[in-house]
């Protein structure tokens, strides 16, 4: 009968563990998992003890039993501390584990020494084998440690009941029950039926209670439940990367919003594809000003109908590992319904909308005039580039019109307007260049040229500050790119970042052709204006090295209009049409 009892208890403990594995969640406390691991091990020891036929087999069974005896109380107490939201340091946890390990060493020495059992013998009574033993000092210490863990656990429960309102009273009551059951099994029932150990039965009953605790506990962990709920929300996407802009992962929703992420390799740096460049821009803005954390991301419908566009509110924040900042997390929230609702409301306020639009137009004009004035002011400091801003702006406009006619490079209308509008700002960085360099009447020395190179990055910084609070995020990005990268070269030998190929934003590639063309056909303090044929030859020779070869046809188509325009200028430009 006794082996059948212990075998049934072992089967019950394994069944409870199987249920725990079935309902396991990644947010479960590791101490709960260890409890459900150690209980079947201890029950196995009791079963092996009941079927042992020699002192050696009985001693082996005891050693298995005391794996639970020495370590279960530790993990029960640590689990209580976690559930009661009482923090202890990793050093304390490690020290307690080492104490339990030291307690278990005398158990391993049973049969070889006398510290745990001073005497051992094996008797058979009624066909059942029993280990007869006399306890040593190590056995007393183990029991004292178990009792001490019990006191600590009960104290933590009582303290939490009195002081911690955020800990569930149901969980606290459930945590007491395993202690009560094990005490009854060990001290009360054991005295009534001395020939049979009921401690493993107490373990199984405790497992049942811990199953209830495991089922309930995640509902009280607001951080985990909120995160899981938000991840399941189909309207919210998440993307994370480290401080070096390396991709760490994204949710399925984020991959649907930005399809390029589906093929992104973990730990791969964010590249210069349009969507990835947009993300880098969000991170750059947030890094420079943490208050600038909200952006708008639009996914255009296939038909081009604005009603099919999906509008997402983008929020940039820090990615935390405990209390440490490890990178950035970007949240995409579908705001399409709200935006459409707002537009619906706006339809009932057409008059007001018209007035606002008119005032906005005036503000935009003032804004544009301010930008142009600032650009002209910077240009006035440079005695070698008079009229350069006006001419390059017109050249950019001509080039973009030809690109659109050609149709090989589909550029959105808003983007084209932004590039033309941003063209006058491409040399704003020269405001930070010393007059002695900027106004030098001749070619630069190597040292002076290195100083002049700083104007590209400085221009991007100045534009970022000027447009910091603008609502036109796309224009701000285009303007920064034009200033920052218009001296990059297709082969990667340009400055300031040495980008190459399609890493260079297309707006900067267009600006580069207009900028160099104007420099060639205009008179400077260090050279006369080149004729159109020579300028054209230089530009075409630079296709594939200095310039984007994909823009060669557009430039060729734009050449007649460029020559007509420059031939009509009376400011030192070439007039040989």
**Mind spelling out the 3-state secondary structure of 455-515?**
HHHHHHHHHHHHCCCCCCHHHHHHHHHHHHHCCCCCCCCCCCCCCCHHHCCHHHHHHHHHH
Residues 261/255, Cβ–Cβ less than 8 Å: yes
Please name the helix (run of DSSP H) or strand (run of DSSP E) that holds residue 334, with its range, or none: strand 324-334
Question: pTM of the full predicted structure?
Answer: 0.46
In this predicted model, what pLDDT tens digit does every residue of 209-257 receive, in sequence order?
Answer: 888 888 776 555 444 444 454 555 556 888 888 888 888 888 888 888 8
Q: Give yes or no for a contact between 203 and 219, defined as CB atoms under 8 angstroms apart.
A: no
- Predicted local distance difference test score (pLDDT) of residue 570: 57
pLDDT for 560 equals 92
- What is the homologous superfamily of the domain 2-220 according to CATH? Rhodopsin 7-helix transmembrane proteins (1.20.1070.10)
The pLDDT of residue 377: 61
Backbone angle region of 226, left / alpha / beta, with phi > 0 → left and psi within -120 to 50 → alpha: alpha
Domain boundaries, the chain: 2-220, 233-334, 350-567
So what's the architecture of 350-567 in CATH? Orthogonal Bundle (1.10)
CATH of 233-334, one of 3.30.2080.10, 3.50.50.60, 3.30.450.20, 3.20.20.60: 3.30.450.20
**Cβ–Cβ < 8 Å for 465, 374:** no
Position 28 scores a pLDDT of: 74
pLDDT of residue 226: 44
Residue 515 tokens, joined = 């900028």
Positions in the chain whose pLDDT score sits under 50: 221-227, 229, 385, 572, 575-577
**Per-residue pLDDT, 382:** 57
CB 474 within 8 A of CB 415: yes
Taking residue 414's Cβ as centre, other Cβ atoms within 10 Å add up to 12
pLDDT for 366? 62
């Amino acid at each position: 009968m006794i082996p059948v009892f212990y075998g049934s208890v072992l089967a019950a403990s394994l069944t409870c563990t199987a249920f725990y594995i079935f309902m396991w969640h990644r947010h479960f406390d590791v101490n709960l998992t260890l409890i459900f691991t150690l209980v079947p091990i201890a029950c196995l020891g009791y079963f092996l003890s009941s079927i042992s036929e020699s002192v050696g087999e009985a001693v082996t069974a005891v050693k298995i039993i005391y794996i639970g005896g020495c370590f279960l109380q530790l993990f029960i107490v640590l689990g209580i501390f976690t559930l009661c939201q009482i923090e202890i340091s990793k050093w304390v946890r490690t020290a307690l584990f080492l104490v339990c390990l030291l307690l278990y060493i005398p158990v391993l020495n049973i049969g070889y020494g006398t510290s745990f059992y001073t005497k051992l013998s094996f008797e058979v009574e009624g066909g059942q084998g029993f280990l007869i033993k006399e306890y040593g000092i190590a056995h007393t210490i183990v029991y004292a440690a178990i009792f001490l863990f019990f006191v600590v656990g009960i104290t933590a429960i009582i303290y939490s009941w009195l002081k911690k309102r955020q800990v569930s009273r149901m969980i606290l009551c459930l945590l007491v029950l395993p202690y009560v059951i094990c005490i009854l099994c060990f001290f009360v029932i054991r005295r009534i039926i001395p020939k049979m150990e009921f401690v493993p039965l107490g373990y199984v009953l405790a497992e049942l209670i811990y199953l209830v605790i495991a089922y309930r506990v995640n509902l009280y962990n607001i951080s985990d439940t909120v995160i899981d709920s938000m991840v399941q929300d189909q309207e919210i996407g998440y993307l994370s990367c480290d401080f070096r802009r390396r991709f760490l992962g994204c949710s399925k929703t984020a991959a649907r919003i930005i399809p390029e992420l589906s093929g992104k390799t973990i730990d791969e740096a964010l590249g210069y594809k349009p969507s990835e460049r947009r993300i880098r821009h969000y991170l750059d803005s947030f890094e420079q000003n943490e208050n600038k954390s909200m952006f708008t991301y639009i996914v255009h419908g296939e038909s081009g109908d604005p009603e099919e566009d999906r509008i997402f509110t983008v929020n940039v924040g820090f990615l935390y590992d405990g209390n440490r900042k490890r990178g950035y997390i970007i949240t995409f929230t579908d705001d399409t319904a709200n935006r459409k609702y707002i537009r619906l409301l706006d339809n009932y306020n057409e008059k007001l909308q018209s007035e606002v639009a008119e005032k906005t137009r005036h503000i935009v004009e003032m804004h544009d005039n301010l930008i142009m004035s600032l650009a002209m002011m910077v240009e006035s400091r440079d005695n070698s580039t008079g009229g350069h801003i006006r001419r390059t702006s017109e050249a950019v406009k001509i080039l973009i019109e030809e690109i659109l006619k050609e149709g090989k490079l589909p550029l959105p209308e808003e983007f084209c307007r932004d590039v033309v509008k941003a063209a006058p700002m491409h040399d704003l960085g020269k405001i930070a260049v010393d007059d002695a360099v900027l106004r030098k009447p001749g070619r630069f020395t190597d040292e002076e040229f290195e100083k002049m190179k700083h104007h590209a990055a400085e221009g991007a910084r100045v534009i970022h500050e000027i447009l910091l609070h603008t609502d036109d995020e796309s224009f701000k990005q285009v303007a920064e790119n034009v200033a920052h990268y218009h001296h990059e070269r297709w082969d990667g030998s340009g400055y300031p970042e040495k980008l190459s190929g399609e890493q260079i934003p297309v707006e900067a590639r267009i600006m580069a052709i207009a900028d160099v063309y104007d420099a060639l056909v205009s008179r400077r303090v260090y050279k006369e204006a080149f004729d159109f044929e020579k300028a054209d030859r230089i530009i075409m020779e630079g296709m594939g090295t200095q310039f984007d070869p994909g823009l060669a046809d557009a430039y060729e188509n734009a050449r007649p209009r460029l020559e007509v325009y420059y031939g009509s200028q009376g400011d030192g430009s070439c007039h040989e049409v």
